[in-house]
């Protein structure tokens, strides 16, 4: 059995956010996302057809919602973002890697 | 939007392992499991119809497989346990809470 670590295998240099699929099984999809100061472009909003469960495991981030709501996230914080709830990553810590897991909801769920 | 923390809301007393569903969406199911010294009974093996993705986020544990393989897990360690790969939790740290996330594979995947 292979063990991998969520906090390992992070390149020193992260010109772009790093997104990797850790598991894909039918409707189930788990991603690891590593940010370091990355943020959504001004005026960009994610608008997803499915809900998404997100947990921040290391680092710090701020999520912004189109209604103006702003959420500060630290290690262990998780939430489910409903489908079509427009949001963006307003800020991630530029000093350290921010590691997220994202689990996508079932498109047929 | 509601934020919850994976490391919060853990009762002081854990007579049994704590298992909570954090997300259920069609085939997608995410659970938080909190152990504190809990282990599978001697001779008990999990034998699951679907594969399971497991990550340990806090604490320490040992997983045993029927072929004799033993895995030590620490924070951030994850693996995918194939369907019908018989396994048990041989040990979890009795001194601190061990927090796991489990994501079940798609039964139709």
User: 0.90 cut: is pTM over it?
Assistant: yes
List of chain A residues whose C-beta atoms are within 8 Å of the C-beta of residue B8: 76
B1-24 residue pLDDT tens: 899 999 999 998 999 999 999 999
- Is A51 at the interface with chain B, CB within 8 A? yes
Find, in chain A, the residue whose alpha carbon is nearest to that of B69: A1
List of chain B residues whose C-beta atoms are within 8 Å of the C-beta of residue A25: 50-51, 105-106, 109
Q: Which residues pair with B21 in a beta bridge?
A: B31
List of chain A residues whose C-beta atoms are within 8 Å of the C-beta of residue B1: 65, 69, 71, 79, 81, 85
Q: What is the full DSSP assignment across B43-101? A: T--B--SS-EEEEEEES-EEEEETTS-EEEE-TTEEEEEPTT--EEEEEE-SSS-EEEE
**Cβ atoms within 10 Å, residue B43:** 6
3-state secondary structure of A53: strand
Q: Look up residue B23 and give its two tokens.
A: 């997300």
Q: ipTM of this model?
A: 0.94
B28-77 residue pLDDT tens: 999 999 999 999 999 999 999 999 999 999 999 999 999 999 999 999 99
- Is B104 at the interface with chain A, CB within 8 A? yes
B24 vs chain A: nearest CA distance in angstroms? 8
A15-71 residue pLDDT tens: 999 999 999 999 999 999 999 999 999 999 999 999 999 999 999 999 999 999 999
B2:A30 CB<8 A? no
* A23 vs B1, B80, B108: nearest CB: B80
Q: Chain-centre distance of CA B2, in angstroms? A: 24
Residue B13, judged by CB atoms within 10 A of its CB (0-12, 13-18, 19+), counts as exposed
């Amino acid at each position: 059995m292979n063990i991998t670590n969520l906090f390992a295998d992070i390149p020193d240099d992260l010109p772009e956010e790093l997104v990797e699929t850790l598991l894909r099984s039918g409707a189930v999809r788990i991603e690891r996302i590593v940010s370091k100061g990355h943020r959504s472009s001004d005026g960009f909003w994610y608008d997803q057809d499915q809900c998404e469960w997100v947990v921040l495991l290391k680092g710090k981030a701020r999520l912004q919602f189109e209604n103006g709501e702003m959420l500060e996230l630290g290690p262990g914080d998780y939430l489910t973002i409903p489908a079509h709830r427009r949001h963006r990553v307003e800020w991630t810590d530029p000093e350290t890697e921010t590691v997220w897991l994202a689990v996508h909801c079932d498109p047929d769920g």
